[in-house]
Chains A and B, each alone.
Chain A
Amino acid sequence: MKIDDNLPPGQLRERKALKKTLISQISVCDASNWEDSRLSWESCCLSKEDFFNETSLKLFSYQFKWNNIYQAYCKQLGKTPETITLWRDIPLVPAMAFKEFPLFCGNPSLASICYHSSGTTNAKHSCHYLWENDIYDVSLTVNFKRHLLPDFDKIQIISLIPSSKDLPNSSLAHMVFMLIQKFGDKKSGYYISKNGLDVARIIEIFDCCKKRKKPVIILGTSSSINYLLNFVKETGLSFSLPEGSRLLDTGGNKGVKKPIERDKFYLLIEKCLGIPSQYCVNEYGMSEMGSQFYDSVLVSTYDVGEERLKERPKESGRKKVVPPWVRTRILNPETLEDIGAGESGILCHYDLANLDSVLGIQTEDIGARMKDGFEIIGRSQGSEVRGCSLAIENFLSTTLKRKTCQLKKH
């Protein structure tokens, strides 16, 4: 169904104008090499506070007008386009709300795209509705290019993330599809399906890569990469992928590992695949957001220079980079004020790529501010203790599913 047929003319007009602004500004960040990309990121208008403020308020106004549930929520809080002047005052929506409410600027039954969160089959999924992928695709490719491929136009992509055919409604699968389309050479492909990792083909392709002597990029979730590493370890194999090869691991916010675990993970990657940790980039994202956050490690080697990094290793410290079209606040969980230096708090994102839903998302993730970015802190020891009180969400989902199956049997 065409978007033109499904939106009222007024909404269509407003959306087109916003989309044009956002795509043109995000596209400014696109560059073919790392030198130009650094400059282009800095020169993007959205990096400037007043332009970001103006654009985000326009987007808020649009979403307030056309997203009914969000409008009711904002009115309840007394925050409307007439009463707020700063992007920081735009009401944040809890990420978990996407599991129950269609936070969409329109009728969700008419939406062409719906991305679900990952998780167990029994748990409730978030649904993020979109009219189109245009802004999503631009933000994704521009961001990926800067942080994973500052030095190549095309590269062999080895995907350990299933295709959209095997994972419909997955924003991650769509991401991989777009990346292969834009950056993948002819030898790129998927090495995982519903049946699991195709380890035989992976070993074969690793051998070919070695002969080709051209760097490759592996895209995987933390779990698929761990599976591969365990396989390599147990079989006693090891690979030295060509110099310049790199790896992207993602698991969204569920794949967040503690710093010690992450260091061990990268050491193992280097041991099994020959990819140094500097070329292992973690991606933090979620189905509720159009944009992603990448580690700065790989691009730092280009921005700062490898020699200088050796002298000042702290500059290569892993941090998640906030793209110019996003703002991340870290809020004190008790007061919901911005944290002070040395503190940690709740990660809240204002993402202009979330054109069709809500731009302000409050996550459950905890982070700390770093220079030019943030780091994610793993779950605390105390948070593992949940008591013998019932985990209603999971249990209700499991029981309801069982009940539904029982009803169907009869």
Chain B
Amino acid sequence: MVRKVPADFDPERYRAEHPDVALSGLEPAEHYLLFGRIMGRRSAPARELPVTPAPEPTKAKPDPPEPNETRPAEKPLAPKERPKPIIDRPADFEPEQALVRPAPPKPGADKNGRFALARLAEEVAADAGHGLGAFRRMFGIDAAKNAPAIGLGAAQILRGPARVENAWLTADGVLRLMIADYGGETDGWTVRAYDADAAEPAQLQLLGPGASLPERGPVLVEFQLRHRLMPLLLEISNGSGAVKEVALLPFPSLLPGGLHNAELRALQSESNPMDAFWSLSDLLLRELVGEPNSSELSIGRLSRFQAAEPAASAFDGDIEQWLTAVFGFQRSEGDGKSLARRNGAADLLLPSDCIPTISSLVSRSLSGRGTSPYLIADSETLRPRWSVVLPAAWDAKGTAPVVGPSGRDGAPSVHVAIALRAPPAPSLSTGSARKKSRARRKLSVLLDSTHPDRSKAAVAALRTAIGSELDLLVRVSGEEASFRSVIDGAWKVVDADLPSVAAQAKHDQLLTITDQVDLSDGSVLDTLAGMLKNKKVASASCLLLREVLLKKQKVLQPATGGLFPAGVSFATSPSLTFAEPDVLQALPDLTYPVVANTLQLTLWRTSALASLPKPSRPLPASASDISIGLALAERGLVSLCTTKVSARLNRDYEPRDAIDPIGQSRLALQDWQQLLGCVTLLRQMF
């Protein structure tokens, strides 16, 4: 049935009353029939209709306070009619009760706030837990030999009425403690903090006056730190000034805002991050200053990321001072630049582009285990973003820094990283920096053509990069004739799967490329060819970048850097799913094995491709590359990708995410372990 507008429909009025009509480009009558009628819009002047006028979108219509009036009132409430804004102050509340006041001067401290460690030890009640023993051991103070049990000594601060609910560091080096609502139990208590200079650790330094707690919490207590990494002592005193407890914060940089907070986040094993902070601090402290046989952490393998940079160059005076005073590192006698552990048990060469985790610094033994995950942290916030596991067989050059903590029986329980690494700024090929290929080579090329003009440009770039030995095969989508007229030189049309095409290729290496890839930088081919020198490597690809419009600006973003295992799907039978994550963040400046390389730009070993069986059934286009990668992996061959070089896509590309392209059990359950053991595993952390 053809609908008609009502006889009294007024198109001009309808257009005037509804601004979206003009924006839609539709005639008012057409708009009314398509949308307005369904939305209940009136078709004629309101006065002619029995319905209530709809509210105007451009003018407020305040409602009366009385609900029995069913139409909006025309005027808002007069100010005098406004209700009282908030409730009265409760009779038992006095703001003075909640004020945090500076603590009284510490008896025995000099005018500069210096206070002897020995005196503080005398003041602590004998039966109170305290962290002074561990503090002395951390700094190797003589009396440490007789120091009591090791521990943080923070019964009140961990679990007592003065429990620290939260703590964090601000950008300007202030430690903030949120102390619980203790219900009046700690009235008159004071909190003070001390640190010590590495050169004179027995002489403590008060960090400000401290704070007197009010009757009720929660309260904020803050201390301006003198050093962003050095251990701290927190003292709790009662109303009469007697010290109740001295707690040790051995590694304050684990707190939010600190240099090592990413490590805490990555290893958080307690449901509450403050509990996790205390438990990890205790674990690391015991490893650092515990008995010789009490080791719970062991380093799997030590390495450095980049040998070119002198290790110590990344550390300023503060960090070197901390590494020396707390962890026993010294400038190596050999080159005078590297930092090495004093006892020599582990020759830890600190990487120049990383922040060593405390776990790696305190660890005292080598486990001999294989690879473990390491973390890539956000460069600004140091929040761990990616957990990376490189396969052991591939990591022969020590690319991944690893620390594998193991239990007493040698079995690993958790993994920690040696370093938090911020991804370097990407060095992207640009027009002005484009290089020419260093060497002409014999190469077969399979060009997937989607558009004549783009194909023409792609072939021109290929001939420049490869030269006269180009064996060009073209797979066209669309009319072949339209491509014939624009693509120069000799080329051959193919229409087959990749293994079949490889069988037709003249040369040992076959490049698959689409006309959406800008291959102006010929050095990309040199890099890929270099990766194929290893006979185990069947395919080599590189990071592909795409242009994205972001806030009116074109920016380059990673499109693909190979396919990785992403998860498990139970949609049919259990099967692995795959994804194309942002490898620029996770694997910067690295060559790594993947499940498969995309067909967008990959250099293949022709013989490896040709040996693959033809697909028994048609696969979706999005699955062909994964299918080939899995088939190669079954034959023990490796697909490599690199972020050391990159190429650009001139069309948009949507990275695939958690796809299950193979459908049925293409990869048998028992083969998962083998596959996962020989490709790079990425986990994006939150």
Tell whether A pairs with B: no
